[in-house]
Structure 1
Amino acid sequence: MDIYEIRKHNLVNLIGSQRKGSCAERWGMAPAHLSQILSDKTAKNLGDDVARRIEEIEGLPRGWFDSIHPGEAPIQESEPTESKLSATDLVKQMLAKSGKGIPEETRLRLLSAAQEPEASNLLGADFIRKGQVGDEVWIAHYDVRAAMGGGQIPHEYPEMLQDIRVSPKHLREMGVTFKEHFHLKMITGWGQSMAPTIKDRDPLLVDVTIREFTGDGIYLFSHDEMLYVKRLQKKGKDRFKMISDNKHHDPEEIRVEDTHILARVLYVWNGQPV
């Protein structure tokens, strides 16, 4: 169980029978943002800043959201349904039902392929999946289609395209800064608004543990339920300046509280560090 599951559990208990809209207004957040955090489909996380703000407003101890409290029922894991079965389980079921005529070598290949780590929602907890330990590691590549133009609604269940095999040592030699290789994932940008830095369909290396603004740079973020890859600069206390590298696209100002950072772009897979 990760920190975001614990926070969601505590958030549900805190809201109780209260109206979600009233809670969102009291906590200074958009109702849609709160609904996304509570939803089982969008899997948007309760970030550090928002968690601390709610604790302060509600008079709760700092860090209250981050642990299970005595006397509470443990978080119940739902029973796996057929739609939630892993690829390995589904392949095993298929082979048991109709795989009698399949050669043994083919059966083993199917099982081996199904046992590769699977992709889940880009916005969900699958980002904690670690790569293979060693000098060369596998980095998961997600088909998220983060838009570098007018924004794009993310797939609810994006499919993994392929894994990229890289050397963490070589990445650092190229100037890519990161703590652990399993913090890194690959996504694909779409559109021309970040050209020439990022061209249409360029693969992007991102650090998914960066969920807050850490200084000027290129981020993967959602705003008004759209997904973007853009430069962000802080403008005042409550606004970001959203910048496109393509000079034909004018900068825009967006509200910090309506902007949910999902990762920071570290490297463009066309040889462009950022």
Structure 2
Amino acid sequence: MKLIENLAALMERSGDNPYSLARKVKARYGTSPTQPTLARILDGTSREPRRSSLQPVADYYGVSVDALFDDDLTRRGEGAPVSTPSRGDSLSIPVTDAWGSMGLGAPQPEHEAIVSGLTVSMDWVRHSLPRISHPSRLAVLTAFGRSMEPTLEDGDTMLVDRGVSEIREDGIFVIALDDELYVKRVQRRLPDKAIIIKSDNPHYEPMVVENGDRNKLEILGRVVWVWKGIKL
């Protein structure tokens, strides 16, 4: 079970055991699975732990709850304990040199570099972005192209929650499809589990990823906020 493997690997990386992890998480967030609960998860006794129990642990490691079940979590090197700013503090969000095409797609970069930071208050984050996976998973990307107009315009600055790696609800996502990077509206087609990739600009045709081709599609994050400038 990947949850057990990932939790064990994350705890080993941080030098924790069920007792110390429960104590640290409770001290930081005020709530945590108890040491016996964590022990039951790790030994496989608790086969379907509640997501609400796992959320404080996921927050502590700076990942989403979904990522705890992800085959690639530890292989990607994610999951270091994070420091969450307290109320009134500021948060520096990394600005990367990656950019998302809203047109025909752009080659997915092999590496990304952090070129600067965008500082916002944690009070703003809590008020404006209450449903993000974790503040540490936010990143700033620039949108290029016109296929998402009027929602997104060429050059708009986007806040992306990179802790989202699955489509649990429809929205605008940064995706990689056949090694090309896109920013698109993504919808699930429930009868056959296909994925519909749409542009808000009606001049662009939608794309459909059939269920059997889902391995070609990678969810890199969900767009949660857009700063729109006025072009003169």
TM-score, L = length of structure 2: 0.59
> Which one-letter code corresponds to 1:266 in the other structure?
V
- The equivalent of 2:179 in structure 1 is 225
Cα distance between partner residues in 1 of 2:216 and 2:170: 18
Structure 2 vs 1, CA of residues 130 and 165 (structure 1 numbering), >3 Å: closer, same or farther?
farther
Is 2:126 aligned against 1:168?
no
Structure 2 vs 1, CA of residues 190 and 257 (structure 1 numbering), >3 Å: closer, same or farther?
same
- The equivalent of 2:196 in structure 1 is 241
Structure 2 vs 1, CA of residues 192 and 174 (structure 1 numbering), >3 Å: closer, same or farther?
same
- The equivalent of 2:205 in structure 1 is 250
- Which of 133, 142, 153 does residue 85 from structure 2 map onto? 133
Cα distance between partner residues in 1 of 2:84 and 2:70: 33
Stretches of structure 1 that go unaligned for 5 or more consecutive residues are: 7-46, 52-64, 68-74, 76-123
Cα distance between partner residues in 1 of 2:94 and 2:82: 9
- The equivalent of 2:222 in structure 1 is 264
SS of 2:147's equivalent?
Answer: coil
Structure 2 vs 1, CA of residues 3 and 189 (structure 1 numbering), >3 Å: closer, same or farther?
farther
After TM superposition, give the deviation of residue 127 of structure 1 in Å: 9.0
- Which of 144, 149, 172 does residue 190 from structure 1 map onto? 144
Tell me the matched-pair count: 162
Structure 2 vs 1, CA of residues 232 and 264 (structure 1 numbering), >3 Å: closer, same or farther?
same
SS of 2:215's equivalent?
Answer: helix
TM-score, L = length of structure 1: 0.51
After TM superposition, give the deviation of residue 237 of structure 1 in Å: 3.2
Whether the aligned pair in 1 keeps the contact of 2:160 and 2:222 (CA below 8 Å) is yes
Cα distance between partner residues in 2 of 1:178 and 1:136: 17
Cα distance between partner residues in 1 of 2:141 and 2:91: 17
- The equivalent of 2:46 in structure 1 is none
After TM superposition, give the deviation of residue 168 of structure 1 in Å: 2.5
Whether the aligned pair in 1 keeps the contact of 2:133 and 2:164 (CA below 8 Å) is no
SS of 2:106's equivalent?
Answer: coil
Structure 2 vs 1, CA of residues 131 and 208 (structure 1 numbering), >3 Å: closer, same or farther?
farther
Structure 2 vs 1, CA of residues 267 and 248 (structure 1 numbering), >3 Å: closer, same or farther?
same
SS of 1:210's equivalent?
Answer: coil
After TM superposition, give the deviation of residue 159 of structure 1 in Å: 2.6
- Higher Rg of the two aligned structures: 1
Structure 2 vs 1, CA of residues 128 and 206 (structure 1 numbering), >3 Å: closer, same or farther?
farther
Give the strand-richer structure, 1 or 2: 2
After TM superposition, give the deviation of residue 148 of structure 1 in Å: 0.8
Structure 2 vs 1, CA of residues 190 and 144 (structure 1 numbering), >3 Å: closer, same or farther?
same
After TM superposition, give the deviation of residue 247 of structure 1 in Å: 1.4
After TM superposition, give the deviation of residue 224 of structure 1 in Å: 0.7
Whether the aligned pair in 2 keeps the contact of 1:147 and 1:190 (CA below 8 Å) is yes
After TM superposition, give the deviation of residue 209 of structure 1 in Å: 1.1
After TM superposition, give the deviation of residue 175 of structure 1 in Å: 5.0
- Percent identical residues: 28
Cα distance between partner residues in 2 of 1:138 and 1:66: 24
- The equivalent of 1:14 in structure 2 is none
SS of 1:268's equivalent?
Answer: strand
Whether the aligned pair in 2 keeps the contact of 1:143 and 1:160 (CA below 8 Å) is yes
Stretches of structure 2 that go unaligned for 5 or more consecutive residues are: 10-66
Whether the aligned pair in 2 keeps the contact of 1:131 and 1:139 (CA below 8 Å) is no
SS of 1:219's equivalent?
Answer: strand
Cα distance between partner residues in 2 of 1:194 and 1:179: 24
After TM superposition, give the deviation of residue 270 of structure 1 in Å: 2.0
Residue deviations 1:161-201 (CA, integer Å, cap 9, x gap): 31000012213333553242112111111111111111112
- The equivalent of 2:132 in structure 1 is 178
Whether the aligned pair in 2 keeps the contact of 1:148 and 1:230 (CA below 8 Å) is yes
